[in-house]
Structure 1
Amino acid sequence: MKKALFFGLATLDIQYLVDQFPEENIKVKTHPPELLVGGPATNAAVAFSVLNGGANLVTAIGHHAFVPHFQQDFSQTNIQLTDLLANQPAVPVLATVITSANGNRTIFTHHPEEVEQNQSFSSLLDEVEPEIILLDGFYPHAAVQLCQEAKRRKIPIAFDGGSWKKHLPELLPLVDFAICSHDFKPPGCQTSGGVFDYLDQQCIPYKAITRGGSSILYQTSEDQAEIAVTEVDVVDSLGAGDFFHGAFCYYYLCSRDFVDALRRASLLASQTCRFKGTRSWINKI
């Protein structure tokens, strides 16, 4: 069994499925929504666990009315949780997701409150002994502390760059693999080339940009090219990028080959788009 540690956001996604996005000032009656546990790091951990038989997640849940939903999901997906807000009152991060018949989605959500973490992550890393760590950019204060301890232990760090966040200049120099979406735009960067140049300045050796159904761009010190994405009939793209990152971590630990891991992760992520929600694909792929 491979060992990975996923650090970042956990959300409760309330997903409505509609034929098409409504116009303004329209009330749409639809089927009851799905209540799904989500978040970039959480979904990545789930994909890794599906491939590996288990995964470790560090996030902030705390104590609130929705805790049983998280507990049930983590039990079913074999996620071992470290809660940064264990037994503390907390406001859950909710996301309302509207998914249309063509698989596109619109999400309404909010940023989590920062978590003050002044303890060392040394004991956690001793316990888990991860071979790779993935971050999604949330809870930056604690994330930096985790990365600093990981760097001392020479544990590779992967970064899920979904969108630019103002605290990232402190975090990015600690990263080994940066896998960013086409929405990730550092200040002054308008093109993929500009994003690669910016990541180069942070001394990140392995970089990739995912672009939905379009090809994946990647750059290493030896190579710069793109990887074609498998075409599928898209039912729901929710979580596909997150699953890509989790699968990347697993396949990288299998081969220690950056490009091979990108290619294999892309195939899995594409297949998840054939199913509704973020968990129904698990027993069908």
Structure 2
Amino acid sequence: MFVGLTTIDIQYFVDDIPIANTKVKTDMPNILVGGPATNAAVAFAYLNKTATLASPAGLNAFSSFIDQDLNSVGVDHFDLAYGQEFETILATVLTSKNGDRTIVTHNPTEVESTISPQKLIDLVKPQVLLIDGFYPEFSLDCVKICQERKIPVVADCGSWKPQFEKLLNFVDIAICSADFMPPKCKTKEELFSFMKSKNVVSVAISDGELEIEYLSNNKKGRIDVPQAKVKDTLGAGDFLHGAFCYYFLESNDFKAAMQEAAFLASFTCCFEGTRKWLNFDHNA
């Protein structure tokens, strides 16, 4: 089960990221359903044929578009804002010809969920839970319940958010970007130490095409990231997290699961947008 953000991403492809005070004409943008937890659920469903996402979508101009998209990729969606008016989180994405992207977006407002974490977990009976740090009150209840039930909890640590101070106390596995630095942490070593103080069992730090560094059960290591002909990196980190959840459930081996997930994440970078890769077999 994946708990967190669902967005509408409006993605433009440009030769280069524009400088200030310029206007760029380009082709029609891709309009995509995105968000860290949502993209992770999509990757899990690609491998598992189904996944469960809990995120607010609510009533707005994009409601049916979100429903149709998630249905088409095998994601069962529990809309935490079901029947409520809710402002969709929009993101404008500029992707340059080398695959780099710049994103402009805004933070979501807190939601009064139409289903309690307890009831949701009782219904879904998840084998693993991933949180992306958004909707912290709901997420905190979810991670506490899962810890009590010995359900593995994975945290998508893309950027530091104050709520991670509490959430990480109930997390088993943290997958961090190189930008994820808690207060007073400036190096990867300090990040590993911080996570150890939170009793996080396994920590991985991804950094684009560079090696993934990890600390798992007090053992350090590095994982090679497969090289790819990059067209677009949008969502690659999220797909890494979703694929990891699938492979970890399959093998219960942190390193092996991370290696397989890195392979799939690199594969997704070979396609423009966040949906085209779903039509291909990444093992072919």
TM over 0.5, yes or no? yes
The residue that corresponds to 1:276 in the other structure is: 272
The residue that corresponds to 2:104 in the other structure is: 108
The amino acid that maps onto 1:206 is S
Greater mean deviation of Cα atoms: 221-230 or 196-205? 221-230
Task: Say whether residues 1:64 and 2:64 are aligned partners.
Answer: no
Deviations 1:48-94 (A, max 9, x none): 00000000000010100011220111111011111111010111000
The residue that corresponds to 1:257 in the other structure is: 253
What is the CA distance between 1:115 and its match in structure 2?
A: 1.8
Question: Percentage identity across aligned positions?
Answer: 47
Greater mean deviation of Cα atoms: 139-148 or 110-119? 110-119
The amino acid that maps onto 1:116 is E
> Is the 1:207–1:220 Cα contact (8 Å) retained in structure 2?
yes
Q: Report the Cα distance in structure 2 between the residues aligned to 1:110 and 1:120, rounded to whole angstroms.
A: 26
> Is the 1:116–1:141 Cα contact (8 Å) retained in structure 2?
no
Task: Say whether residues 1:228 and 2:224 are aligned partners.
Answer: yes
The residue that corresponds to 2:7 in the other structure is: 11
The residue that corresponds to 1:46 in the other structure is: 42
3-state SS of paired residue (1:23) = coil
> Is the 2:89–2:107 Cα contact (8 Å) retained in structure 1?
yes
Instruction: Name which of 60, 75, 78 aligns with 1:79.
Output: 75
The amino acid that maps onto 2:40 is A
What is the CA distance between 1:119 and its match in structure 2?
A: 6.0
The residue that corresponds to 1:205 in the other structure is: 201
3-state SS of paired residue (2:102) = strand
Q: Report the Cα distance in structure 2 between the residues aligned to 1:203 and 1:118, rounded to whole angstroms.
A: 32
The amino acid that maps onto 2:132 is D
The amino acid that maps onto 1:71 is D
The residue that corresponds to 1:136 in the other structure is: 132
The amino acid that maps onto 1:85 is A
Structure 1 spans left out of the alignment, 5+ residues: none
Instruction: Name which of 121, 125, 134 aligns with 1:125.
Output: 121
> Is the 1:216–1:228 Cα contact (8 Å) retained in structure 2?
yes
Q: Report the Cα distance in structure 2 between the residues aligned to 1:255 and 1:177, rounded to whole angstroms.
A: 15
> Is the 1:60–1:85 Cα contact (8 Å) retained in structure 2?
yes
> Is the 1:161–1:181 Cα contact (8 Å) retained in structure 2?
yes
The residue that corresponds to 1:34 in the other structure is: 30
The residue that corresponds to 1:149 in the other structure is: 145
What is the CA distance between 1:149 and its match in structure 2?
A: 1.4
The residue that corresponds to 1:215 in the other structure is: 211
The residue that corresponds to 1:245 in the other structure is: 241
Q: Report the Cα distance in structure 1 between the residues aligned to 2:116 and 2:33, rounded to whole angstroms.
A: 28
> Is the 2:6–2:55 Cα contact (8 Å) retained in structure 1?
yes
What is the CA distance between 1:126 and its match in structure 2?
A: 2.1
3-state SS of paired residue (2:94) = strand
> Is the 1:272–1:281 Cα contact (8 Å) retained in structure 2?
yes
Q: Report the Cα distance in structure 2 between the residues aligned to 1:194 and 1:242, rounded to whole angstroms.
A: 24
Name the count of aligned residue pairs.
281
3-state SS of paired residue (2:279) = coil
> Is the 1:40–1:239 Cα contact (8 Å) retained in structure 2?
yes
> Is the 2:81–2:114 Cα contact (8 Å) retained in structure 1?
no
What is the CA distance between 1:222 and its match in structure 2?
A: 4.3
Q: Report the Cα distance in structure 2 between the residues aligned to 1:118 and 1:37, rounded to whole angstroms.
A: 22
The residue that corresponds to 2:156 in the other structure is: 160
3-state SS of paired residue (2:10) = strand
The residue that corresponds to 2:170 in the other structure is: 174
Q: Report the Cα distance in structure 2 between the residues aligned to 1:125 and 1:191, rounded to whole angstroms.
A: 36
CA RMSD of aligned residues (A): 1.1
What is the CA distance between 1:221 and its match in structure 2?
A: 2.1
Structure 2 spans left out of the alignment, 5+ residues: none
The residue that corresponds to 1:266 in the other structure is: 262
The residue that corresponds to 1:196 in the other structure is: 192
What is the CA distance between 1:252 and its match in structure 2?
A: 0.3
The amino acid that maps onto 1:99 is T
3-state SS of paired residue (1:270) = helix
TM-score normalized by the length of structure 1: 0.96
What is the CA distance between 1:152 and its match in structure 2?
A: 1.7
